Amino acid sequence: MLSLIQKRFFREAVYNTIFPKTNISNGTKLIYAKDIIYNCLKKQGVSDAFIYSGGSIMPIIDTLYDGDINYYVNSHEQNCGHALTGFSKSNLEHTKKAVVMTTSGPGFTNLITPMLDMTNDSTPGVFITGQVPLSAIGTNAFQEAPSVALSKHVTKYSTQITSIMDIESEFDKAFDIAYSGKMGAVHIDIPKCIASSSILEDEYNYLLNNQITNYYPAIDFDMFNIENYDIDNSVNAINNSKKPVIYLGQGCVNDYELLRKFAINGNIPVISTIHGCGIFDETHDLSLQWCGMHGNATANYTLQEADCIIAIGSRFDDRTTGLVEKYAPKCFEAYNNGYGGIIHVNIEKEELKKVVDSHYNYNMSCNDWLKKAITNIKYDSRTNWLSYIDTLKKKHPFTYNEVPNKLFMENVLVGMYEKTKEKNTIITTGVGNHQMQTYQYIKSSYPKKILSSGSLGVMGAGLPYGIGAKIANPDKMVIVIDGDSSFNMTCSDMKTVVENDIPIKIAIMNNNSQMMVTIWEKLFFKQRYTATLNERNPEFTKLAESYGIKSISCDSLEDLDQILDTFINYPKAILCEFKIEQGICLPLVGPGKALDDMILPENYDTKINEMNNKNLLAPS
């Protein structure tokens, strides 16, 4: 592999040999790098761009002035990245594509969070950033940052373009990597001297047609061959098990129809991660909704009791397993006794046996595994198993408060679900109790109904996610559900909403606290409340009005139904501040606890007394 410096010298030597400076033909049309970049974006089907301008990116952004790629100027570069994430998360088949364009230095460093958020949540997207000229790199020039060195740790691929001749091949490569296999963010860094460069048309075509720049290896995705796997072996384990359950992740999102057929044909209950919600209809009798730290108690108990877990497109995130050493004990017992076990299907080879020591491992797409497995799956009435699960469902529903003259978050969410469940809706959230309770009380009958930051847990992502989701899905209702702490981080993007007349609905769950962390302080840190209570929130309704967004508020259960009607039916952008009581989000799997060792409404007092008696503190 040649270094960047070696590549440049090699290219210049070839270029000067073919086109000596004394023989360059005059009068040939010039081709500009910025136009090559624009044409590359059109070739890849890019329809939209989230941008924030600055010196080094200006030559590229200039092409948008009279082009037909729609562009949106967010209030902050981080919001550009989150808007791209919402756009991409909400577009299942990725028939629409968007990009981010920002300048160098802080324009780039502000993108690190959304880059990592996208990569961690397997969401594809391409980030294009400016850079100081090649001659200034390494001199601590104004707005210089070691962008590739930084972004390579948070993306699938990061590259700096050092020649006009590399633009097409690098853009093709970038989109190929971002949207192939386990998807994620890709970063292209373009020095201003390259973005401003040009070349004679005949020279460019000659070099391009003779592939002078194609001196690096083609992309190797380590493709698998389905014929190398004995899928029948795992299907037999399912058919022989007494208590199987499907554990579903977003890797199966595009195969939801096949997955539903597989589960129903085998009469197998289904549990998902939060990103997998809706892949299997959560209103179906076989659905146990989602598992994990704040997940459905029935789902958590079922995973611990199951003798066969079929993990499809999921990766055993720590928030879904609890203490790994105590995860799924009955599966390991069953496997040791010659049946059942843990089956793991994942397109990313490195995810297999990474967290859980699974027994049947398949490095392939969910589609490939399901198409073969469905031919041999057997229907089983599973009377005892499903009866046990039904008992759990009746015993452990998500409960909610109904106290006269007091408004709780679950009251709002239940009411919102009832008024929107028949509509084609996308909901985006920030991170916190409001996020978890949104997944608890709003069921998904189709994939990606709810979008939020999962693995990285980015507070403030809700509003820019909603902007991106609405741009990608103009015919769907988009509701942003955010907490006051989370919304404070990115509320400036209301500017973007108004400037572009984006008709999203913003619901602020205001309890004047960073509630999820406040609860941890209450439970595990002797009620030492430090930096989690918001003593001076803005008046969110007045803040929205200052941007030009209609605003309303609700602080009582008696007014909730009427306020929700106004909120849901208003045709343009609207913000509603719900002034809610502080409360705990249950179930809760505490730190270092097994998945079935939960704090539940019925055992709350007992669990708290146990922790107080043990003087239990959360690990630092």
pLDDT value for 399: 87
Q: Please report, for residues 4, 158, 192, 354, 435, the alpha-carbon distance to residue 152 in angstroms, rounded to integers and kept in the order given.
A: 16, 5, 20, 22, 29
In angstroms, rounded to a whole number, what is the distance separating the alpha carbons of residues 7 and 43?
26
pLDDT value for 615: 56
Is residue 219 very low, low, confident or very high in pLDDT (cuts 50, 70, 90)? very low
Q: Which one from 7, 19, 143, 349 is the annotated catalytic residue? A: 143
Name every residue whose Cβ is closer than 8 Å to that of residue 568 and which is 6 or more positions away in sequence: 416, 419, 420, 477, 505
Whether the bond between 397 and the residue before it is cis, its omega within 30 degrees of 0, is no
In angstroms, rounded to a whole number, what is the distance separating the alpha carbons of residues 56 and 166?
18
Name the phi and psi angles at 318, rounded to 5.
-60, -30
The pair of structure tokens assigned to 520 is: 């941890």
Alpha carbon 560 to chain centroid, angstroms: 31
Is residue 274 very low, low, confident or very high in pLDDT (cuts 50, 70, 90)? very high
Residue 214 CB neighbours (<10 A): 12
Q: Which one from 97, 156, 182, 192 is the annotated catalytic residue? A: 192
pLDDT value for 539: 96
Q: Which one from 316, 516, 567, 577 is the annotated catalytic residue? A: 516
Name every residue whose Cβ is closer than 8 Å to that of residue 182 and which is 6 or more positions away in sequence: 122, 251, 347, 348, 351
Alpha carbon 232 to chain centroid, angstroms: 33
Please give the model's pTM, rounded to 2 decimal places: 0.92
pLDDT value for 610: 77
pLDDT value for 195: 97
Parallel, antiparallel, or unpaired for β 574-579 and 550-554? parallel
Q: Please report, for residues 2, 59, 404, 516, 518, the alpha-carbon distance to residue 512 in angstroms, rounded to integers and kept in the order given.
A: 56, 44, 21, 12, 11
Lowest mean pLDDT among 298-307, 479-488, 589-598: 589-598
Q: Which one from 77, 144, 305, 410 is the annotated catalytic residue? A: 77
192 is known as an active-site residue: yes
Is residue 13 very low, low, confident or very high in pLDDT (cuts 50, 70, 90)? very low
Checking if the pLDDT of 3 tops 70, the result is: no
402 is known as an active-site residue: no
Checking if the pLDDT of 330 tops 50, the result is: yes
558 is known as an active-site residue: no
Closest CA to 484 of 462, 513, 452, 457: 513
Is residue 527 very low, low, confident or very high in pLDDT (cuts 50, 70, 90)? confident
In angstroms, rounded to a whole number, what is the distance separating the alpha carbons of residues 215 and 86?
36
Parallel, antiparallel, or unpaired for β 308-312 and 341-345? parallel
pLDDT in tens, 404-424: 889 999 999 999 999 999 999
CB 178 within 8 A of CB 156: yes
The pair of structure tokens assigned to 497 is: 């909403």
In angstroms, rounded to a whole number, what is the distance separating the alpha carbons of residues 315 and 346?
8
Q: Which one from 6, 9, 12, 142 is the annotated catalytic residue? A: 142
Checking if the pLDDT of 35 tops 90, the result is: yes
Q: Could you say which DSSP state residue 513 is in?
A: B
Checking if the pLDDT of 620 tops 90, the result is: no
Parallel, antiparallel, or unpaired for β 588-589 and 598-599? antiparallel
Rounded to an integer, the average pLDDT of 600-613 is 83
Name every residue whose Cβ is closer than 8 Å to that of residue 509 and which is 6 or more positions away in sequence: 409, 412, 433, 434, 481, 482, 483, 484, 578, 580
221 is known as an active-site residue: no
In angstroms, rounded to a whole number, what is the distance separating the alpha carbons of residues 230 and 400?
47
Is residue 614 very low, low, confident or very high in pLDDT (cuts 50, 70, 90)? low
142 is known as an active-site residue: yes
